[in-house]
């Protein structure tokens, strides 16, 4: 056996910002597009802290021509004196020391803060090529610059101050400007997406009632500029989210304080078959929810059941209605402002503060109970709808119980689920992949080209149902859509109240369609299905879109053929130039034009394929897009597709 050397010298101590540089995922989640934009969120969170403290009412975000980003607020400005703990200027501490900030000391710092851990500014500095801060405070302007430096001996100086904090002029303004450029040595992608910033800042403006947020993109001419300001706050947010939907009552709005926490809730029921609840803590989106959401749901269910019994909607022997019964079509925004929130990670996706649950529960119980008594027509609508929902779901449960029964499935075998489904040879949920394929011809190629050990194929015949326009009994069950019934049975998670993400039979669910308008439409229909009925699978990163090549560029030379597959016009042009005169182009108009070997090589082989992982980065924006694409209004759908979907159109 080979001797393994393991000595004291193998133990490394990562000091200061070096730890961030070496393990960035621990601080920003990823080094892809999501992590790239998270840098901006961290700096914006600091500006929002000034707003929440009552010292700022404007935030300006600019994407500069060099793809650096600046965030400016008109708050008090970072203090510029010498920090008593570190003995250096406070701005230097803020940008170079982890767990430093105004949220730890109480006093005149921040009580209700989004920057929980005090690492945001320093993490951004650590992961940038350079960062500059400009402070306007007490009539003076101060500046300092930080850079990443790698010495000749390999030593890293991460977020190193290359200048002292210097006074550079006088001013009548107050506030802080932070400008930084993400480091391509850290990130796989450094191009900021305007639409991603636009959607997040718009949501922030809804949450910060009356605050002006400006976004400017200097990479285009003329500069693109958006300004967001909403005097109605989250009421306007709900109106925006429900635009294009049929709603059943006026927007309901509660706000107040409980146990030192400021609580806001706006909701309105629409004609959807699913719930859509957006939750925030100190304006930070909690996409994985948390204790505040548990408090809301607990209170809503209890108060509605109490009202239903008191007013004879439920009789003595009737079971209580479930929370999911009441939340069908429930569109809501919950915003909590709390001192010292305890998130479960630096990315702040889930609130863990136990006191938030009881505070929200008590507040909503009081306000919702009063609302129901004062608005009996709305109360009746909510309860009648919940009763009908339970009835329908019970019918569906009985009708589909045999399909989901493991014993019965085992006896008849998975192949008999549907003649459109070809299962993998081995049952391994940690590795297996499901390809949902458009059409029989492509399905045949996929079945023959796949790795039978772990890849399954489900061939769709025709377009799936648009679930956005349907009730749940039209989606699943005996009166439901055959294609969707098959998908539900194949992935084995159940649906609705019976949904269990851990029972999913596949590690990856891959949507594979042609690169044309029909293919894009099928993608959108399937993504809407997963967004509405299997959102946890999307959150867990299990849903993907396959990227088949658009072209094959090749050149026949004597007895062999040289060439490559191309996924874009740019790839094609580069391949043509590389092969030179005599090169030919094969355009793939559909998956069925590729034989099994080609489909495996380009689209199914894990070693060579390209996949897009579906992610709900911004739940509010996802809701708006689904409504636009799947709703009844044609003009906004056409406009969105024209702006966001690009296909190669080849002349005959």
Catalytic residue positions, numbered:
438, 514, 516, 518
Pairing status of strand 560-566 against strand 611-613: unpaired
585 vs 583: CA distance, rounded Å: 7
Q: What is the DSSP letter of 602?
A: I
State whether residue 267 is helix, strand or coil: strand
299 vs 87: CA distance, rounded Å: 50
**What radius of gyration do the chain's Cα atoms show?**
28
Q: What is the DSSP letter of 547?
A: -
Q: Write out the two tokens for 363.
A: 């507040």
CA dihedral 168, 172, 173, 177 (to 10 degrees): -10
Give the Cβ contact number of residue 497 at 10 Å: 15
228 vs 241: CA distance, rounded Å: 16
State whether residue 403 is helix, strand or coil: helix
108 vs 263: CA distance, rounded Å: 22
The answer for residues whose C-beta is within 8 angstroms of residue 217's C-beta and 6 or more apart is 62, 63, 194, 223, 224, 225
Q: Helix 376-404 vs helix 354-374: angle between axes, to the nearest 10 degrees?
A: 120
Q: Write out the two tokens for 232.
A: 């109605």
360 neighbors 258 (Cβ within 8 angstroms): yes
375 vs 384: CA distance, rounded Å: 14
What's the Cα-to-Cα distance from 89 to each of 38, 71, 81, 235, 627, rounded to whole Å?
26, 21, 5, 43, 50
Q: Write out the two tokens for 570.
A: 């740019």
State whether residue 261 is helix, strand or coil: strand
The answer for residues whose C-beta is within 8 angstroms of residue 457's C-beta and 6 or more apart is 421, 422, 434, 435, 437, 443, 446, 447, 450
What's the Cα-to-Cα distance from 534 to each of 143, 497, 600, rounded to whole Å?
49, 11, 28
Burial class from Cβ neighbours inside 10 Å (0-12, 13-18, 19+) for residue 243 reads middle
Q: Write out the two tokens for 524.
A: 């959108």
Q: Which of 60, 80, 97 shows the shortest CA–CA distance to 168?
A: 80
423 vs 450: CA distance, rounded Å: 11
105 vs 100: CA distance, rounded Å: 10
416 vs 422: CA distance, rounded Å: 9
Give buried/exposed letters for 272-298 (b at 16+ CB in 10 A, else e): bbbbbbbbbbbbbbbbbbbbbbbbbbb
Tell me the residue length of the chain: 652
Q: Write out the two tokens for 189.
A: 């992608």
């Amino acid at each position: 056996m080979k001797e393994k050397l393991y000595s004291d010298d193998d133990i490394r101590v990562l000091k200061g910002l070096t730890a961030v540089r070496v393990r960035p995922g621990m601080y920003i989640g990823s080094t892809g597009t999501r992590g790239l934009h998270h840098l901006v969120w961290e700096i914006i969170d600091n500006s929002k802290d000034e707003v929440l403290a009552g010292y700022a009412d404007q935030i300006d975000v600019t994407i500069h021509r060099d793809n650096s980003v600046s965030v400016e607020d008109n708050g008090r400005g970072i203090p510029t004196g010498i920090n008593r703990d570190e003995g250096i200027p406070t701005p230097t501490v803020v940008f170079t020391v982890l767990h430093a900030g105004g949220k730890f000391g109480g006093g005149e710092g921040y009580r209700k803060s989004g920057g929980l851990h005090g690492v945001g500014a320093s993490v951004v500095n650590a992961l940038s090529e350079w960062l500059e801060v400009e402070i306007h405070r007490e009539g003076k302007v101060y500046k300092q610059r930080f850079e990443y430096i790698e010495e000749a001996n390999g030593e890293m100086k991460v977020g190193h101050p290359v200048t002292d904090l210097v006074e550079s002029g006088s001013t009548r303004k107050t506030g802080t400007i932070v400008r930084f450029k993400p480091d391509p040595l850290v990130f796989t992608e450094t191009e900021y997406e305007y639409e991603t910033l636009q959607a997040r800042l718009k949501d922030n403006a809804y949450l910060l009632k009356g605050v002006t947020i400006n976004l400017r993109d200097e990479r285009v001419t003329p500069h693109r500029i958006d300004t967001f300001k909403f005097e109605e706050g989250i009421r306007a947010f709900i109106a925006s989210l429900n635009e294009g939907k049929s709603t059943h009552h006026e927007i309901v709005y509660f706000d107040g304080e409980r146990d030192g926490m400021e609580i806001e809730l706006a909701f309105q029921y629409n004609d959807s078959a699913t719930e859509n609840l957006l939750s925030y803590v100190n304006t930070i989106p909690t996409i994985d929810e948390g204790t505040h959401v548990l408090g809301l749901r607990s209170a809503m269910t209890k108060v509605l059941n109490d009202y239903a019994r008191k007013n004879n909607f439920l009789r003595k022997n009737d079971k209580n209605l479930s929370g999911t019964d009441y939340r069908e079509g429930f569109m809501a925004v919950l915003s909590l402002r709390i001192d010292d929130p305890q998130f479960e990670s630096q990315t702040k996706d889930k609130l863990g503060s136990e006191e938030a649950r009881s505070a929200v529960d008590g507040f909503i119980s009081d306000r919702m109970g009063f609302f129901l008594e004062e608005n009996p027509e709305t109360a009746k609508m909510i309860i009648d709808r919940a009763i009908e929902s339970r009835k329908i779901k019970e019918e569906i449960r009985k009708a589909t119980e045999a399909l989901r029964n493991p014993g019965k499935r085992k006896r008849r075998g998975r192949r008999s689920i549907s003649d459109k489904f070809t299962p993998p040879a081995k049952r391994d949920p940690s590795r297996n992949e499901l390809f949902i394929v458009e059409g029989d011809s492509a399905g045949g190629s996929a079945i023959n080209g796949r790795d039978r050990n772990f890849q399954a194929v489900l061939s769709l015949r025709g377009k799936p149902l648009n679930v956005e326009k349907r009730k749940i009994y039209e989606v699943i069950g005996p009166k439901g859509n055959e294609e969707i019934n098959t998908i539900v049975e194949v992935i084995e998670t159940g649906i609705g109240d019976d949904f269990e993400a851990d029972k999913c039979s596949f590690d990856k669910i891959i949507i594979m369609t042609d690169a044309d308008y029909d293919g894009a439409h099928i993608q959108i229909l399937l993504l809407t299905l997963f967004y509405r009925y299997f959102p946890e699978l999307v959150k867990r990163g299990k849903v993907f879109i396959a990227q088949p090549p658009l072209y094959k560029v090749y050149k026949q030379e004597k007895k062999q053929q040289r060439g490559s597959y191309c996924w874009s016009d740019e790839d094609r042009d580069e391949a043509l130039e590389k092969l030179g005169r005599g090169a030919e182009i094969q355009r793939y108009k559909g998956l069925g034009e590729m034989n099994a070997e080609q489909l495996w090589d380009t689209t199914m082989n894990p070693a060579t394929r390209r996949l897009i992982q579906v992610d709900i980065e911004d739940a509010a924006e996802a809701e708006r897009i689904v409504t636009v694409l799947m709703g009844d209004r044609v003009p906004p759908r056409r406009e969105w597709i024209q702006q966001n979907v690009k296909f190669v159109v080849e002349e005959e």
